[in-house]
Amino acid sequence: MFRLPKRGLVDHGAPLSFSFDGRRLTGLAGDTLASALLANGVHLTGRSFKYHRPRGILGAWADEPNALVTVIRGGGRSTPNLPATQVELFENLVAFSQNREPSLERDRWSINDRLGRFLPAGFYYKTFMWPKSFWSRVYEPRIRAVAGLGVAPEQADPDRYEHRYAHCEVLVVGAGPAGLSAALTAAESGCRVVVCDDRPLPGGSLLSAASATIDGLGAREWADTAVARLSSMTNVTLLPRTTAFGYYPHNLLGLCERLGDHLPGEPAGPRERLWSVRAARVILATGALERPLVFPDNDRPGIMLADAARQYLQLHGVAVGRRVVIVTAHDAGYRSAHELHAAGIQVVLADTRPAAIARSTPFRVIPDARIEGTRGTLRVSAITISHTGRSERIDCDAVLMCGGFTPSIHLASQSRGTMAWDAEVQAYVPAGSAEAECSIGAAAGRLELADALADGCRAGRDAAAAAGFAARRIGTPRASVDHSVGQGGIIGALPHGRDPAKVKAFVDWQNDVTARDIMLATREGFRSIEHVKRYTTTGMATDQGKLSNLNSLAITAAQTGRPVEAVGFTTFRPPYTPVTFGALAGAARRDLFDPVRQTPIHDWAVAQGAVFEDVGLWKRARYFPRASEDMQAAVNRECLAVRGSAGLFDASTLGKIEIVGADAATFLNRLYVNAWDRLAIGRCRYGVLLREDGFILDDGVIGRLAADRFHATTTTGGAARVLATMEDYLQTEWPDLDVWLTSVTEQWSVIAVQGPHAREILTPLVQGLDISADAFPHMSIGEGTICGAALRLMRVSFTGELGFEVNVPSSHGHAVWEAIWRIGQPLGMTAYGTEAMHVLRAEKGYIIVGQETDGTVTADDAGLAWAIGKTKRDFVGKRSLARPAMKAPDRKQLVGLRTLDPAKLLEEGAQIVGPDGGPSLGHVTSSYYSANLGRSIALALVRGGRALEGHRLRVAMPGGGIEVDVTNPVLFDPKGKRLDG
Amino acid sequence: MLLIPCPYCGNRPEIEFSYGGQAHIARPPVPEELDDDAWGAFLYARDNVRGPHRERWRHLHGCARFFNLVRDTRTDRIIASYRVGTPCPRVEPL
Amino acid sequence: MTSGPLSLETLQPMTRHILRCRERRVAEASDLLGLDLPRSAYGTASHADRHALWLGPDEWLILAPEPFAATADVWAAIGASFVEVSDRQVALQLSGAGADTCLAGGCPLDLALPAFPIGACARTVFHKAEIIVWRTGSSRFQVEIGRSFAPYVTRLLSQQVQRGRSLAVPT
């Protein structure tokens, strides 16, 4: 066992049982899966992406590229690709390794490692070239099966997720020494502060700072005090387990708070909460990540980052090995060595720097060390180091690397801040801000504790002041440390004496990219780091190059003979670490994905067994099947009833706009193709609205209620668009017009009563309005009451029958519907749905915007030229109608199609060609079986179609064409006599 | 998500707004006087600005007013916000 | 100040109108309504049971328990539009400790008291629905929703309220 008693922040008295690849193991409360595995001596946790090399735990948190696991929870919960270093242990956690078959220890694809020289960077571009069709059918699926990550879950995610908007003056990302002191200082000013940290406990590096003191307190104790103080302040929101993953424009940050994954069992509340935080100022205290070293065979299990090993010791009381060799290019390696040595671990330190300072250390130091390679298959067993002219093999069970520290500039880079090369830190550090933000502490390349604390106090004070809050002056905490972080570091590949062609020195562990791959890319002519990245895939994958970016940059620079800063670097994009789809979706799932809009008559339709269809966000009754009727049977019955007796139709979803003002008629004149000024009060007109480019935008009936008041209807889907178009012209083009628009779509329920008995049914119900044929002819509008409710009655028809549209306030819609239903039923009235409505209107050749039109159809194309006010000099879209293409005789025009076989139904969308084939002449826009006509009917847009009336064409279908005759689109009651019934 | 300064409501989140394309393209008062090319340009020709762009927005789910923004297309920085009918404030060139 | 447990209720039907007019007519419109129409964003005005909520520089939502006497002609005379929308929308009342947090689950506005004080109102969004949110108390909001969007908003708010209640620590 590798657990050290009494050490770390774990609870030594609270053992937790868990399983890894089916093996039962024991950890402690406070462990991560990685620390618990290490405590059990398990380093081997994965197989690499391409070569299937055995891989171990490399880091201690979000930088982990190797130890990706799938965690299985009850109820179909399965999360792949989680770094074991970030999975918090709980009782009975079940985890599996990935990308191996049948087991980690014996993986059949490990043969890829020996084929490595055939699988260099971009091998798939070069190898799988022939035959071309094999790429998508054979090569890609096979490569994906072998090179891979975890398996996506197969069941729907049973967990809940939620979103939260938040606003603050100061957002602090990271609760280490810099972040905590910034938050404390800012919060004392009284402004709203949000502090987030992605680890389970706030404190950052303070939690593992064994030998540091701040203001006389131990570092951990100081952090605890700071956290307690922040928690007690009502103006502070402290969010642990919360990753700031995205920096979006104008200081909006995306945060993902993990609420359930660290707990056993099903979460009581949401699993995760996605925060959208808008902050006046942002302080980035995101710390720095230790860099690995690029030397031969640097990827065996047991080889890991030195500071990660130090954290496992100080946070979890875990020794990553008993005999470790620390390879360092930075002074910080000595700190790790001291702390490990003090815990009883045997340490040898190999310093790659020529002038390794001769320190008085209690452990052996090898200066000017050159790493020639390592041994061990499933676990490192030895390292070969050459120094002072000789080669020495040192047996060990862990090798720790320290190449220096890379500031975590991800969020600063996402915010489009500029970066500058810091030669001392050997990394890019934030240099200029695009947003109201600043980076402090290690994130700014200032690695020492005292600097972080001082940065935090200053930044907290400045941010509060910038947001208009005067900060109380609190002194900068005084830090003292036994071992400073120090200086040094290296980037790029370390020199070695072995044959470069036979050596694998990994730069990017997760994507199996070696130094040789990057050199190959530069030899093949890639110079831009963006291209090198894409060709070699270095810096991609779930860890997004947290460890590899600078080393690949330095190798590219060296190979192309440029300084590193001349190569530039790849801009970071969100997310910093992967975010679940669940968190992004939030509550927007299943029946809450979109609002489901229902009319006041919806429940009645449900009770009648209606089948519904989606029209935009609306649910509309499509047909009302009786007993064993299928859709066609129900629609046939409904269509016959409307023309034979009467039908009742819920048209409440129609858009309605009340247009009021002295200039209302002028406004409609300018907007619609029709002439409106001479429309009498109490009369309606069918209006066509074009876009400025001349194509149909929408249509609808508009009635004049008073000289200065119109009731306009729009299509269901066009309601918002028409209102927006009207407001646009009123506000921006004709602000001088006295016209006001109010959406009344939801104010009025609309009940269409259509058919020969329609008047007879309505007459006993309508009061205060004479609806006799003479007093209320076709295209009338009037006001009265019905069943005690306000009534706006329109005599209009979308069926070709005598028809009325009863508008009543929505709260009365259901009651009025029932009242009409009671009177109409004995007369043979039926309720009909949208499908019958479609058939009935198609029989009459009435278009539906969006079905007969597609944004390239003019009023004339649709056979609506009669609606255009001939004497109008201008209306929206008129000028476009005079463009040559709009007047061409071969434009597609609306026609009817008659199949030779009356039982044959065309397919909507089918292409129409000449009798002997040839190019497409148009397409079928509507096609139904018409019970009233006893045959199939169809509408179509056909090139020069009106001139082809009487001609025969073919509708192209798989397996042969269907012969059709072109007809007038009006197929039923062409003289329109029934409207006047 | 941008934070957009509505000239009527102050700073509001982008999801309340709808975008309306390039600003200051007035509908010709007498369209029939334009030849086909000029009318085509009015319909379809728009600038593709790299830098400060004058554009229309509508505070759709707010005060419902159209207004104009000058937004730097490279950075999303909003340089000016002004009401319809008022002149565009001077913006320093690129 | 105590704010009571979280609760969500549907308010009784009321008379609603949309008033639209030019700025120079605001004084006359105010006289007709018997209250001073608010003239800037977030503004509301109340007189007795009658409330005017600023929606835009030329648009107000007028709420009253009973129908109005003034006819269309009266409004036309001052060049204003006064359209009844009583049934266009429904109102929810959300109250109790954490009411603002419930709204913050889907409303992007800053609802902290200094930014959105008692009496403030705004047309905005809640998830994918448009709403009008009106703060009627330190932790009480009236939410006006388009009629057909009400079930959607109500369900989402109820989830938040239930969750907020289960989190509430008895004091």
d(CA B70, CA A646): 57
Residue A6 falls inside a structural domain = no
Q: A692 vs B36: CB contact, 8 Å cut-off?
A: no
Determine the residue among C18, C103, C125, C144 to mutate to test chain B binding: the one whose Cβ has the most chain B Cβ atoms within 10 Å: C125
For chain B, say whether A879 makes contact (Cβ under 8 Å).
Answer: yes
Clarify whether residues A603 and A493 are in a common domain: no
Q: CA of B27 to nearest chain A CA: how many angstroms apart?
A: 7
Region(s) of chain C under CATH 3.30.70.1520: 15-84
Domain boundary (A780, A808, A843) is at A843
Subunits touching B (CB < 8 Å, at least 3 pairs)? A, C
Residue-averaged pLDDT of chain A? 94
Overall CATH class of domain C15-84: alpha beta
Task: Check CB contact under 8 Å for A728 and B32.
Answer: no
Residue at B4: amino acid letter: I
Mean pLDDT over B17-39 rounds to 97
Q: For residue A416, give both structure tokens.
A: 């489009």
Test C122 with B10 for CB contact under 8 angstroms: no
Distances (CA, A) of A392 to A330, A373, C144: 22, 11, 78
Other Cβ atoms within 10 Å of A416 Cβ, number = 17
> Pick from A744, A774, A798: which residue ends a domain?
A744
Q: Is residue B55 part of a domain?
A: yes
The answer as to whether B34 is a domain residue is no
**Beta bridge pairs of residue A650:** A751
Closest CA to A233 of A460, A465, A479: A460
For residue B21, is it within any domain? yes
Q: Which chains touch A (3 or more CB pairs under 8 A)?
A: B, C
Position A578 pLDDT exceeds 80: yes
Q: Would you state the structure tokens that stand for residue A57, as one six-digit string?
A: 């735990």
Tokens linked to A239: 């969010």
In a domain, A534, yes or no: yes
Whether complex ipTM tops 0.90: yes
Pick the residue from chain C with its C-alpha nearest to B63. Answer: C56
Of the pLDDT bands very low, low, confident and very high (cuts 50, 70, 90), residue A152 is: confident
Residues of chain C with CATH 3.30.1360.120: 7-12+88-167
Distance from first CA to last CA of chain C, Å, rounded?
Answer: 13
Q: Which domain holds residue A391?
A: 292-403+486-499
Our count of domains for chain B comes to: 1
B76: left (phi over 0), alpha (psi -120 to 50) or beta: left
In a domain, A271, yes or no: yes
Q: How high is the pLDDT of residue A124?
A: 65
Confidence of residue A397 (pLDDT cuts 50, 70, 90): very high
Q: Establish if B32 belongs to a structural domain.
A: no
- Smallest Cα distance from A688 to chain C, Å: 25
Whole-angstrom Cα Rg for chain A: 37
Q: Is residue A74 part of a domain?
A: yes
| Distance to chain A for C26, nearest Cα, Å | 15
The reply to whether C18 touches chain B by the CB within 8 Å rule is no
Answer whether B2 touches C (CB < 8 Å).
no
Number of structural domains, chain A?
7
Q: Are A425 and A491 in contact (CB under 8 A)?
A: no
Q: What is the pLDDT of residue B28?
A: 97
Secondary structure (DSSP) of A420-482:
EEETTTTEEEEEE-SSSEEE-GGGGT--SHHHHHHHHHHHHHHHHHHTT-PPP--PPPPEE-S
Beta bridge partners of A893: A942
Shared-domain flag, residues A411 and A368: no
- Residue C170 has a pLDDT of 46
Range list of β-strands (E), A21-88: 23-29, 44-47, 54-56, 68-73, 77-83
Residue numbers in B near A276 (CB within 8 A): 1
Given the structure tokens 């440390």, which residue do they identify? A481
Chain C residues close to A660, C-beta within 8 Å = 20, 76, 81, 83
Looking at the structure, tell me whether residues A116 and A27 fall in a common domain: yes
B4 with B77: CB under 8 angstroms? no
Residue A174 lies in a domain: yes
Mean pLDDT of B30-54: 96
- A-chain CB neighbours of B39 within 8 Å are 879-880, 883
Measured distance CA(A724)–CA(A965) in Å, rounded: 41
Residue A889 contacts residue A874 (beta carbons within 8 Å):
no
Does residue C109 sit at the B interface (CB-CB below 8 Å)?
A: yes
- Whether C4 has a pLDDT exceeding 90, the answer reads no
| CA gyration radius, chain B | 15
The model carries a pTM of 0.94
Whether A769 maps to a domain, the answer reads yes
Judged by a CB distance cut-off of 8 A, whether residue B36 touches chain A is: yes
Rounded distance between C-alpha atoms, residue A447 and residue A379, angstroms:
32
Asked if the Cβ–Cβ distance from B43 to A731 is below 8 Å, we say no
> Is residue B85 one of the residues assigned to a domain?
yes
Distances (CA, A) of A166 to A270, A275, A668, C27, C110: 17, 7, 44, 38, 7
Q: Which chain A residues are closer than 8 Å to B44 by Cβ?
A: 693
Is the CB of A746 less than 8 angstroms away from the CB of C88?
A: yes
Look up the CATH number of the domain holding residue B5.
3.30.2270.10
Structural domain including B18 reads 1-26+48-94
Query: Which pLDDT score, from 0 to 100, does residue A130 have?
Result: 64
Looking at the fold, whether A305 and A365 belong to one and the same domain comes out as: yes
Q: How far apart are CA A30 and CA A43, in angstroms?
A: 19
- By the 8 A CB rule, do A956 and A940 touch? no
User: Cβ contact (<8 Å) for B61 and C109?
Assistant: no
- Predicted confidence (pLDDT) per residue in A627-668, tens digit: 999 999 999 999 999 999 999 999 999 999 999 999 999 999
Q: What is the pLDDT of residue A449?
A: 97
Is the confidence at residue A107, as pLDDT, over 90?
no
- Of A674, A696, A702, the closest CA to residue A872 belongs to A674
Q: Closest to B76 (Cβ–Cβ): which among A249, A732, A882?
A: A249
* Span A235-259, pLDDT tens digits: 999 999 999 999 999 999 999 999 9
> Does residue B54 form part of some domain?
yes
- What does the alpha-carbon distance between residue A346 and residue A354 come to, in Å, rounded to a whole number? 24
Flag if A874 and B18 touch (Cβ within 8 Å): no
pLDDT (tens digit per residue) in A700-716: 999 999 999 999 999 99
The answer to whether residue B38 is domain-embedded is: no
Residues A728, A779, single domain; the answer is: no
Q: Do A648 and A658 share a domain, yes or no?
A: no
- A162 → chain C, closest CA residue: C105
Superfamily covering domain C7-12+88-167: Probable tRNA modification gtpase trme; domain 1 (3.30.1360.120)
**pLDDT at site A108:** 77
What is the reported pLDDT for A357? Answer: 62
The least confident of A289-298, A479-488, C86-95 is A479-488
pLDDT of residue A106: 83
Instruction: Let me know whether A714 and A664 are in one domain.
Output: yes
Indicate whether A55 belongs to any domain: yes
Q: Which residues contact A387 (CB under 8 A, 6 or more apart)?
A: A350, A366, A367, A368, A369, A370
Element (H, E) at A678: none
C121 pLDDT more than 80:
yes
**Predicted confidence (pLDDT) at residue A551 exceeds the cutoff of 60:** yes
Boundary of a domain, candidates A728, A744, A760 = A744
Q: How far, in Å, CA of A914 to CA of C6, rounded?
A: 69
